[in-house]
Structure 1
Amino acid sequence: MNTIRAQKDGWEARARIGLVVPHADVGPESEFQVIAPEDVFLHGSRVHFGAMRAGGEMDPKIPHDPVRAFVEPPHIDHAVELLAASPLDVIALGFTSSAYVLGASGEKELFDRLGRHTRGIPLTGTTAAAVTGFAALGARKVAIVNPPWFDDRLSGLGAGYFTEQGFTVVHHGPCGLPSNQKLITPHALADWIRTTVAGHRPDAVLVAGNGIRAVGVIDALEQELDFAVLTANQVLFWHALHLAGAGEIARGITGYGRLFETAPGSGAS
């Protein structure tokens, strides 16, 4: 009888995550992929985002109407429904600003609506994951670092979202970096957090916005500063793994923050 030694072929996944992203944004998939162990697979779906042009170009400050339109039916509903036709374990929405505009109650209505298209597959989004992550870490005083393409009003809506969820927001604002995805560097982001946020002494900071380059600085900043560092894609990936029933995979991830050492519901109330 002939035998062969088969190479890995992509069918040995321990978890499969569906990810919905703006049409011209490669940030969420890139950062998910670099964190993911080799047996966690990503499956993406894209939705047109009116504030983004081909090549990932955006205006220095994004208008709010396209942010709201991104989560209005029917396009995101179709994207979720098509993803959910696949044998996935969880679906994640890689978008932050829509929850800011909708508020906590509007986000819940969005999840309820999209949940009718998921065939029972769990669904999460960035801000919902961040709320879960803050709670798991026992963080009550939080700082929110928003992308430079968020204006002050959008940042204020984000602060209102987390305040509504019971957190004390000790600092928020768009970071003072170039309003261009390709020009943001890990060193520049780390310097901004170190000089602008650390003095507010938060329990945790969230680098919001799934399109900002951020996961590479988490570990170094946590070793230097006395608070937890969450980023949009890191916390979304963490929450997705736990919703997928893959908490043991999450706990095995190192180098991307202390968040992976804990589980939803394990923090102080």
Structure 2
Amino acid sequence: MASEAVDVVVARVSRGGDSAADLRAVATPSALRPAVASLREASVDVIAYASTTSGYAIGPAAEADLVRTLQHLAGVPVVTSGLAATRALKSFGVRRVALVHPPWFEAEMGELGASYFRDQGIDVDTLMATSIPKDPDQVRPEQVIDYISDAVDASTEAVFIAGTGFRAAATVEELERRTGQLVLEANQVLLWSILAATGTKLQINGYGSLFRGSGPVVAGF
């Protein structure tokens, strides 16, 4: 989305699995400290904790606490996809969102995701995109567009495509055209939050009305 303007340094954090318990074990200052230290050594300007499901697993209050602790450790802003999505939804005044999960998410993530946003005052219609391939590498933009266009109805005001591994950012513009709703995607809102956290003015084209709206995101930038 901003490949010519943003350099990315990645620090991967291993975990035992994809259950809520596994995610909670990783989403702690002690578990993330080595990754944060390596990114700080790389002199990044901002750190993005790219795990939507980790936010689901620990909840928004604990995630906000984690962000504050990591910022203290890193000395730079820290953003997460879940909190970035919440800020984006609220900046557009959204009260009800269609939460779209990829088919490789564990079943419990549907309930945790709904609770995550409801705890922040946003109602949720949860959708599991079971018609697309379970292998993330085989997912094509047109499959995501067709599924969401058919599944979303007028009861919601926006769509959030969860999961930074979903890689559905390329679908946002067409989905907004077809649904008439604000469409957010995990990596898209991370970039939006990164720009806001660093006060960076950067024109992003082709990724939806989020970058044209009134509202202001482990990788290092």
Give TM-score, length-normalised by structure 2: 0.90
Partner Cα separation in structure 1 for residue 123 and residue 141 of structure 2 = 27
**Structure 1 residue 168: deviation in Å?**
1.5
C-alpha RMSD of the superposition: 1.6
Q: Percent identity?
A: 34
- Where does 1:124-135 land on structure 2 (aligned, <5 Å)? 124-135=79-90
Which amino acid is 2:79 matched to? T
1:94 aligns with 2:67: no
Secondary structure of 2:98's counterpart equals strand
> Which of 162, 170, 186 is the aligned partner of 1:216?
170
Pick 1 or 2: higher relative contact order, CA cutoff 8 A, min separation 6.
2
**Structure 1 residue 80: deviation in Å?**
1.3
Partner Cα separation in structure 1 for residue 47 and residue 119 of structure 2 = 25
**Structure 1 residue 215: deviation in Å?**
0.8
Aligned to 2:188: 234
**Structure 1 residue 145: deviation in Å?**
0.3
Aligned to 2:32: 76
Which amino acid is 1:64 matched to? A
Runs (5+) with no aligned partner, structure 2: 217-221
Deviation string, structure 1 residues 210-250 (Cα, Å, up to 9, x no partner): 1012011111111122101100000111111111110x21x
Partner Cα separation in structure 1 for residue 140 and residue 196 of structure 2 = 30
Does the CA-based 8 Å contact 1:185-1:213 persist in structure 2?
Answer: no
Partner Cα separation in structure 1 for residue 95 and residue 63 of structure 2 = 21
Partner Cα separation in structure 1 for residue 16 and residue 181 of structure 2 = 36
Aligned to 1:183: 138
**Structure 1 residue 142: deviation in Å?**
0.8
Which amino acid is 1:47 matched to? V
1:262 aligns with 2:213: yes
Does the CA-based 8 Å contact 1:242-1:263 persist in structure 2?
Answer: no
- Where does 1:74-153 land on structure 2 (aligned, <5 Å)? 74-119=30-75, 121-153=76-108
Task: Return structure 1 stretches of 4+ with deviation > 4 angstroms.
Answer: none
**Structure 1 residue 74: deviation in Å?**
2.8
Aligned to 1:3: none
How many residues are aligned here?
Answer: 215
Does the CA-based 8 Å contact 2:51-2:80 persist in structure 1?
Answer: yes
Moved more, 138-147 or 64-73: 64-73
1:196 aligns with 2:146: no
- Specify the structure having the higher radius of gyration (Cα): 1
Runs (5+) with no aligned partner, structure 1: 1-34, 52-61
Larger fraction in strand: 1
> Which of 4, 7, 12 is the aligned partner of 1:46?
12
Which amino acid is 1:85 matched to? E
Secondary structure of 2:127's counterpart equals strand
